[in-house]
Amino acid sequence: MARKILLDVDPGIDDAVAICLALHEPMLEVVAITATGGTVSPEQSTLNVQAVVEQLDPPRWPRLGCASPDQILRADRRHLFGVDGFCGAHFSVAKRHHQHSSVKVICDEVRSAPGDVTIVATGPLTNIAAALRQQPDLASMIRHLIMLGGTLSGPGNVTAAAEFNIYCDAEAAREVFHSQLTKTLVPIDLTARILLSFDLLEKLPAEESPRGRLLRQLLPGAFRTYRQQLGIEGIHLHDAVAVIAAIEPKLFSTQRMYGDIETEGTLTHGTTILDRRLHPEHRPNLDVVVDLDSAEVTKRIFDRLTQPA
Ligand code: RIB
Ligand code: CA
């Protein structure tokens, strides 16, 4: 039976690809996709989630949740991926009348299937923290939270010390780390081992298929940005790797650790602290991915994205 999954995302091309993988995965039933600001503003993120789902038009639509326009974020990625987060690829979206907040959708979906829903969070953790604050008993009803963010031992990617998703709302990340949830952190120095090369573009499904059309509009912009702005020949799809971790956990090795987030430091704000001492002072509160089968994970992503429609 397919596993119920809820995606909490801030699209962005990386998140859009993660949505695409999850919606086409027979082992997963995507019950909802909730938007959070991060890569782009909360309003744009809500539109982007809707655009991706409309473009893919899956046989069974997930519920959609809107990011709060009041969300306060310390950074965004608009300098890299444009105001729309999609490097200018334009998608018009239908007007929606009955919109629910992401936090409400998360609470509803978890409560309607207690113990069954895995959440994959690939943006700042604002919604997850808010849901737990509103309904503290939710923590025991979420099957598993997989969070994409932080670093195990690498440098940050938004400041010298901090990773983007955690830095954007470090206080929320701290609350989530300290919650009773069963959770796994997928740090970006691990996901950065996966680099998709240009030949992906040639192998994408035909323009006629919804997946082919979407990916053909989104991915060239990502390759361009990586080359021109970051000097990297290829693209990292961090968020897609987190979805693969939900589908095929055997490809990932984890270690139990105590993790915390620095919320005060001037130079270190938003840094993920993972205590790997022999005798840490605190009990472990999460699993952390410490290794992965890079070749297999790369292959799984490549094969899924290039599978003919
Ligand atoms: O640091 C990686 C994260 O920032 C990913 O979730 C990606 O979407 C980017 O915005
Ligand atoms: Ca993201």
Encode pLDDT of 188-237 as tens digits: 999 999 999 999 999 999 999 999 999 999 999 999 999 999 999 999 99
Q: Whose CA is nearest to atom 1 of ligand 1?
A: 164
What distance in Å separates the CA atoms of residue 272 and residue 189, rounded to the nearest whole number?
12
Domain enclosing residue 16, as ranges: 3-306
Alpha carbon of 14 to ligand 2 centroid (Å): 6
- At residue 308, the pLDDT reads 84
Q: Does the beta carbon of 236 lie inside 6 Å of ligand 1? A: no
Ligand 2 mean position to 12 CA, how many Å? Answer: 6
Residues belonging to the chain: 309
Mutate to test the pocket of ligand 1, among 8, 76, 77, 79 (most ligand atoms within 8 A of CB): 77
pLDDT computed for residue 154 by the predictor: 85
C-alpha distances in Å from residue 291, one per residue of 14, 119, 125, 249, 297: 21, 21, 23, 11, 11
Q: Is 25 in the pocket of ligand 1 (CB under 6 A)?
A: no
Q: What is the mean pLDDT of the chain?
A: 97
Give the Cα separation of 111 and 186 in Å (integer): 25
pLDDT tops 80 at residue 309:
no
Cα–ligand 1 centroid distance for 78 (angstroms): 12
In this prediction, residue 90 carries a pLDDT of: 86
Place 96 in a pLDDT band, splitting at 50, 70 and 90.
Answer: confident
Q: Which residue's alpha carbon is at the smallest distance from atom 10 of ligand 1?
A: 39
Q: What is the pLDDT of residues 276-305, one digit of tens each?
A: 999 999 999 999 999 999 999 999 999 999
Q: Residue 102 above 90 pLDDT?
A: yes
131 is written with which tokens? 């849901």
Q: What is the CATH number of the domain that holds 288?
A: 3.90.245.10
Q: Could you tell me if the CB of 165 is within 6 A of ligand 1?
A: yes
Largest Cα span, the chain = 57
Q: Is the pLDDT of residue 49 over 90?
A: yes
Cβ of 163 less than 6 Å from ligand 1: yes
pLDDT > 70: percent of the chain? 100
* 304's tokens: 């899924």
Q: Is 148 in the pocket of ligand 1 (CB under 6 A)?
A: yes
Residues 22-42: what's their mean pLDDT?
97
* Atom 8 in ligand 1: residue holding the nearest Cα: 14
144: Cβ–Cβ under 8 A, 6 or more apart, which residues? Answer: 118, 119, 182, 183, 184
CA dist 156 → 19, 160, 162, 214, 274 (Å): 25, 5, 4, 30, 14
CA atoms within 13 A on the CB side of 224: 14
Nearest atom in ligand 1 to the alpha carbon of residue 163 is 1
Which ligand is closest to the CA of 80, given by its number?
1
Q: What is the 3-class SS of the chain, one letter each residue?
A: CCEEEEEEECCCHHHHHHHHHHHCCCCEEEEEEEECCCCCCHHHHHHHHHHHHHHHCCCCCCEEEECCCCCCCCCCCHHHHCCCCCCCCCCCCCCCCCCEEHHHHHHHHHHHCCCCEEEEECCCCHHHHHHHHHCHHHHHCEEEEEEECCCCCCCCCCCCCCCHHHHHCHHHHHHHHHCCCCEEEECHHHHCCCCECCHHHHHCCCCCCHHHHHHHHHHHHHHHHHHHHHCCCCECCHHHHHHHHHHCHHHEEEEEEEEEECCCCCCCCCCEEEECCCCCCCCCCEEEEEEECHHHHHHHHHHHHHCCC
At 54-69, the pLDDT tens digits run 999 999 999 999 999 9
Catalytic residues: 238
Instruction: Give the ligand with the smallest distance to the CA of 270.
Output: 1
Q: How many other CB atoms sit within 10 Å of the CB of residue 300?
A: 20
CA of 164 to the centre of ligand 2 (A): 9
Distance of alpha carbon 149 from alpha carbon 66, whole angstroms: 21
Which residue's CA is minimally distant from atom 7 of ligand 1?
14
Asked whether 33 lines ligand 1 (CB < 6 A), one says no
Provide the number of structural domains found in the chain.
1
- Residue 279: per-residue pLDDT: 94
Q: Is 8 in the pocket of ligand 1 (CB under 6 A)?
A: no
Structure confidence at residue 182 (pLDDT): 98
pLDDT at residue 38 above 90?
Answer: yes
What is the token pair recorded at 12? 């962005």
